Structure 1
Amino acid sequence: MQRPNPVQRASSDQPWQTRVAWGLGSLVGFLFFWEVLALLIQHRHFPTPTTVFAAMWREAETGALIYHISKTLFRVAVAFVVAMLIGSAIGIVMGRNGRVDQAFDSWLVLFLNLPALVVIILCYVWFGRTELAAIIAVAVNKIPNVAVTVREGARALSRDLAEMAHMYRFGAWKTLRHVTLPQLAPFFLASARTGLSLVWKIVLVVELLGRSDGVGFQLGTYFQMFDVSMILAYALAFIIVVQLIEFGILQPIAARVNRWRR
């Protein structure tokens, strides 16, 4: 039997300092390559990283950057919570009830394949270019993804644990809290992380088409001016915020949820 090489460890087994060092090193290398390439090309539509970060700093000093990012994050948070609640409820019901699953599976497939742009346009036509329409458009695009993931988790629930809870008369609330939700937690987390990456992108399109503020609106404005420096400044600032949420919130939650697997 071949012994595993201790040098070739999975990245998840490495110390976080090592992972951070590798990540920062690759990022610095990319920025250096970008800087050199931009200096060689010398075109206003391909600015250097220093030019982009200078533009980002100017927007932050005026307060515009913080304002528009906060408006986008508000829409993301509201749409995300609504979609998670509705999608999780649908997924649990479909996963635990075969007849409901058979009746509405085709509906789920339909909404999964419905283009996000169509949903956004229809919401603006039906509800007007309002904040409510924007949030509904984002939530509707995410709900099917959550429902599909949670449905698979509901199908995989242990019957033995359910029978044990019934035998010891846990009751509905205690069974939900101590038996059902812990088993569904990894599926909730998976749907949250994959769905959140989808929500970020859809919100920008929603703001581009029908809002007067937010990162998507700013991207559309500077696109009309062909100001690539400002486009990249807002894009990078938004990416930084998303990464901070990923590493500061989602990954610690994922580590806690999956702690029982170790």
Structure 2
Amino acid sequence: MDAVRKILRDFPAFLWSGWGAIASIFLFIAVWDVGNQFYGDMILPSPMDSFKTVADLFQDEEFLENLFITVDRVVVGFGISMLVGTVLGLLAGFFVTASMTSRPIITILMGMPPIAWIVLAMIWFGMGDATVEFTVFVASMPIVFIGALQGTRTLEDKFEEMADTFKVPFMMKFTDIYLPHIFSYIFPAWVSALGMAWKIVVMAELLATSDGIGAALALSRSQLDTQTALALVVIMIGLLMLVEYIFLEPIKQEVEKWRD
């Protein structure tokens, strides 16, 4: 609870420190507007028109339903990958044999293009939720696994030896030594896996389902509706940035303060 209160107390300062990121966003929008003036609305709609389309989409019940479907698939696929990847990564980190055994498997999973997994999942599971969620899991899990593995393998023995010298209880040793170090590796891995999960869901929906944001993007492409397609991209990026920078980044900074 103390950590949560500290995060909330430091949140205004965190927002103020992000002025550089906000400035870069406005710079990107300015470049976008220049591109619109060069290429026209058919190729690259203006930022103002795209943002108006975003507002209109949030008034559309069908779009809101598709958005909920996509978010649900992200949550399910990412949740499974986070749980499995964390548990297996911790086990591999604590046991050398498990680490050596899992290394080639993780290398294969990391090297396999997501589009290949989507094609295989379509053959195995058909056109539906299972295809999307499986692809998210198999593409995101190795990222979480590697984060958990690195967190356990990089524990410094000197802190454990000092705790044993002073006969520190196991629970205190776990919460004050093991957990902060391991979590500082796992949490960034979770953030990276979440970004991967969001991108994979949209890609899989575009190819393998008839609903969700990806399917709406495919429909816009078939109708040459560049403005709606660009608005959907803005929504996808905006939601990911909202979750990562407003909710997750303050927690990450608080977790990693022990490094200083």
The partner residue of 1:82 within 80, 84, 87 is: 80
Q: Retained in 1: the 8 A contact 2:131–2:204?
A: no
1:246 Cα deviation from its structure 2 partner = 1.1
The amino acid that maps onto 2:146 is: V
1:118 Cα deviation from its structure 2 partner = 1.6
1-structure distance, mates of 2:90, 2:222: 45
Q: Deviations over 1:68-104 (max 9, x none)?
A: 2222222112211211111111111111211222222
Residue equivalent to 2:52: 54
Give the number of equivalent residue pairs. Answer: 247
TM-score, structure 1 as length reference: 0.84
Q: Please identify the structure whose Cα radius of gyration is greater.
A: 1
2-structure distance, mates of 1:110, 1:26: 37
Residue equivalent to 1:110: 108
Say yes or no: does 1:254 pair with 2:252: yes
2-structure distance, mates of 1:167, 1:98: 28
2-structure distance, mates of 1:224, 1:153: 46
Q: Retained in 1: the 8 A contact 2:69–2:212?
A: yes
Distance 1:93 1:57, change over 3 A: same
Percent of aligned pairs sharing the same letter: 23
Residue equivalent to 2:23: 25
Q: Retained in 1: the 8 A contact 2:14–2:250?
A: no
- Gap runs ≥5 in structure 2: 1-12
Matched ranges for 1:90-239 at <5 A: 90-162=88-160, 164=163, 168=167, 170=169, 176-239=174-237
TM-score, structure 2 as length reference: 0.84
Q: Deviations over 1:169-214 (max 9, x none)?
A: 845x665445432220111112112212211111111111112222
2-structure distance, mates of 1:49, 1:129: 34
The DSSP-based 3-state class of the residue aligned with 1:207 is helix
1:234 Cα deviation from its structure 2 partner = 0.5
Q: Deviations over 1:141-191 (max 9, x none)?
A: 1111211221111111233444546984845x6654454322201111121
2-structure distance, mates of 1:34, 1:230: 16
